[in-house]
Structure 1
Amino acid sequence: MIGLFNMMRNKRLFVLLIGLILFIAVMGFSLSDRKDLTWPEKFLNDTVGYVQQWFYKPAGYVAGLFEDIRTMRELYEENARLRTTVASYARDKSKYNRIEQENARLQAKLNFTEEQKNRNNYTYMIAQVVSVSPDAYNRTFKINLGSRHGLKENMAVVTEQGLIGMISSVSPFTANVIPITELDGQSVNPKFISATVEGKEEDSFGIIESYNIENGQLLMSKIAEEDPLTEGDVVITSGLGDVFPVGIVIGTVTSHQVGDFGLTRTAFIEPAAEFDKLSEVLVVKVPEAAGDAE
């Protein structure tokens, strides 16, 4: 029994020795300088390559998918940033345009008020129109200045183009303005506007007492027959009557004719100011009114 065991152990050692010799031989053959692979090596390479392609392609697809997702996310974020930039640009441009228009408008008003103040020493207060009466027989409008700001009844209200009207009533923080287009020579107080012609103040005089709604013009009456008034003349307030300050532009003469009784003439005046869509006006304060307000 012992002999059999020894013989089997010797066989295992023999087989192990033979295997080790073959392994060393194969290693030496593989590491030798050869140009061609053996058919087992070729078979093994092809098998491994074929199997690898099935793992490599899906892995490449998955890697590409993640890369595409990352790229899409970057594009989405960039697009969001661009939309925000465009929105900011549009907002800033709109704000800039409003500021530019406001600046031009205020410059025009400043130039107007400076010219008028240098000529007549008036004080102007800018007021916003807050509402317009819907009553067809009472076309007044309300402004956001009142007695607390020094306003009084019958103060003249103008724009940079010309005379708009006068203050008809005053509250602490608001005032009602009646436009000159509401003149009818009867119910409106004052009932008329004393007027003259710019450049002919010493020789020309008339009274504007009504507005013709059909042709959109003011009627100037009581013009002397020898009055030098003619078409194209600029009509301004004369300052008589202690209501309207002198020198405020009313409009331009479009036509004139002999009056009803042939002793005087009448003329139609195209208003200088625009009465539609009023948003901002100027209240005229003469030095006396300013002193009273103080």
Structure 2
Amino acid sequence: MLPLLTLIKEYRQGLAAFVLMLVALFLMLSVRPGDQQGMNSAQSLVLDIMGGLQRLILSPVEATRAAGERIDDLMALDAENRRLKRELARMAPLQLRAEELRRENQRLKELLSMPADPLYGKLAARVIGDSSSAFAHSLMINAGRDSGAALDSVVMGARGLVGRVIQLGEKHSLVLSILDVNSRVPVMAQRSRIKAMAAGANDRLLRLEFVAREADLEAGDLIITSGSGGVFPKELAVGHVVSLQSVKAGLFQTAWVKPIADFDRLEEVRLLTPATLPDDRLAAQ
């Protein structure tokens, strides 16, 4: 009995079709000749049965075809997704490079938008090395004698003074930062015109030396170059006073200045090269 049930379950669609065909044949044979109304009814019933039988047979085929088309669509979408992922992976470095170029262009615009002194030429350079440490602060730039750089060329950032060239090569130069302990820059307060000397301390701040105790100097004052000494042009922005320290027994007070130039983010600089160099400086080169 069990094998019979198994066969019926396995071939149930074929058996159902066979039974329906037998029913249709029986109805057709049961109509008497000359009974037109019965003939029409039998034909209609047979058509309905055959239509249902056809749908029964074709339903799995249609379902299989629809499933196949759906699988093809999913495979196509998966392939397109993988292609787009590869394209995004390929474009990521290009997007990063484009963003870097945009930022560099913005920095160079800011750098070159500084007011030009007719006595000095413009020369842009890239910072390629930073040897700053607890004992020294200097930078290497990719501009040398071939590019028009000169000894003591003043080096500016986008907003403030960076230092000066102390060693000159054909294609590279060494810049002494204003933060270096050996750096001295003649300066003055823009507001009160009080003069002083900005000294590097191998720190983030500059120390103002030779400021009289009674000097009109306040926190927040802008410090600019005074032009004394002939190396640094007058009125270059250096930094802002952040604190003052007086000594009771001394004649001077000490002020600390935060440079305007952002040394942590310094990537490009501008050199102020003298348009005409004195004979003694030409001989030194």
The verdict on how the C-alpha distance between 1:89 and 1:31 changes in structure 2, with shifts beyond 3 A counting, is farther
Contact 2:225 2:235 in 1 (8 A): yes
Give, in whole Å, the separation in 2 of the partners of 1:136 and 1:288. Answer: 37
Give, in whole Å, the separation in 1 of the partners of 2:196 and 2:153. Answer: 21
Letter in 1 for 2:219: E
1:59 aligns with 2:44: no
Per the alignment, in what secondary structure is the counterpart of residue 266 of structure 2? Answer: coil
Give, in whole Å, the separation in 1 of the partners of 2:120 and 2:35. Answer: 113
The verdict on how the C-alpha distance between 1:165 and 1:60 changes in structure 2, with shifts beyond 3 A counting, is same
TM normalised by structure 2 equals 0.67
- What residue in structure 1 maps to residue 198 of structure 2? 208
Shift of 1:221: 1.6
Give, in whole Å, the separation in 1 of the partners of 2:53 and 2:241. Answer: 103
Give, in whole Å, the separation in 1 of the partners of 2:224 and 2:136. Answer: 25
The verdict on how the C-alpha distance between 1:267 and 1:78 changes in structure 2, with shifts beyond 3 A counting, is closer
Give, in whole Å, the separation in 1 of the partners of 2:246 and 2:53. Answer: 115
Give, in whole Å, the separation in 1 of the partners of 2:249 and 2:180. Answer: 26
Pick one of 144, 158, 161 that aligns with 2:159.
Answer: 161
Letter in 2 for 1:251: G
Per the alignment, in what secondary structure is the counterpart of residue 288 of structure 1? Answer: coil
Contact 1:158 1:164 in 2 (8 A): yes
TM normalised by structure 1 equals 0.66
Pick one of 59, 67, 70 that aligns with 1:68.
Answer: 70
Contact 1:127 1:144 in 2 (8 A): yes
- What residue in structure 2 maps to residue 193 of structure 1? 185
Give, in whole Å, the separation in 1 of the partners of 2:267 and 2:187. Answer: 26
Shift of 1:196: 1.6
Per the alignment, in what secondary structure is the counterpart of residue 62 of structure 2? Answer: helix
The verdict on how the C-alpha distance between 1:243 and 1:33 changes in structure 2, with shifts beyond 3 A counting, is farther
Give, in whole Å, the separation in 2 of the partners of 1:102 and 1:30. Answer: 99
Per the alignment, in what secondary structure is the counterpart of residue 243 of structure 1? Answer: coil
* Bigger mean CA deviation after superposition, 221-230 or 89-98: 89-98
Letter in 2 for 1:157: V
The verdict on how the C-alpha distance between 1:99 and 1:76 changes in structure 2, with shifts beyond 3 A counting, is same
1:178 aligns with 2:190: no
Letter in 1 for 2:261: A
The verdict on how the C-alpha distance between 1:151 and 1:31 changes in structure 2, with shifts beyond 3 A counting, is farther
Contact 1:212 1:219 in 2 (8 A): no
Shift of 1:148: 0.7
The verdict on how the C-alpha distance between 1:149 and 1:99 changes in structure 2, with shifts beyond 3 A counting, is closer
- What residue in structure 2 maps to residue 272 of structure 1? 260
Shift of 1:264: 3.9
The verdict on how the C-alpha distance between 1:239 and 1:56 changes in structure 2, with shifts beyond 3 A counting, is same
* Bigger mean CA deviation after superposition, 46-55 or 243-252: 46-55
Per the alignment, in what secondary structure is the counterpart of residue 68 of structure 2? Answer: helix
The verdict on how the C-alpha distance between 1:274 and 1:40 changes in structure 2, with shifts beyond 3 A counting, is closer
Give, in whole Å, the separation in 2 of the partners of 1:284 and 1:47. Answer: 100
Letter in 2 for 1:198: Q
Letter in 1 for 2:131: S
- What residue in structure 2 maps to residue 231 of structure 1? 219
- What residue in structure 2 maps to residue 7 of structure 1? none
Cα-to-partner distance string for 1:109-168 (whole Å, 9 max, x where unaligned): 333x2x3x16x6543322111122265423322111111111122222121221111222
Shift of 1:256: 3.8
The verdict on how the C-alpha distance between 1:36 and 1:290 changes in structure 2, with shifts beyond 3 A counting, is farther
Cα-to-partner distance string for 1:231-284 (whole Å, 9 max, x where unaligned): 332111112212222211111223445569734443222222222132122222
The verdict on how the C-alpha distance between 1:38 and 1:130 changes in structure 2, with shifts beyond 3 A counting, is same
Contact 2:132 2:139 in 1 (8 A): no
Per the alignment, in what secondary structure is the counterpart of residue 152 of structure 1? Answer: coil
Letter in 2 for 1:179: S
Per the alignment, in what secondary structure is the counterpart of residue 265 of structure 2? Answer: coil
Contact 2:121 2:275 in 1 (8 A): yes
Give, in whole Å, the separation in 2 of the partners of 1:50 and 1:89. Answer: 57
Give, in whole Å, the separation in 1 of the partners of 2:67 and 2:32. Answer: 41
* Bigger mean CA deviation after superposition, 133-142 or 229-238: 133-142
Q: Percent same amino acid at aligned positions?
A: 25
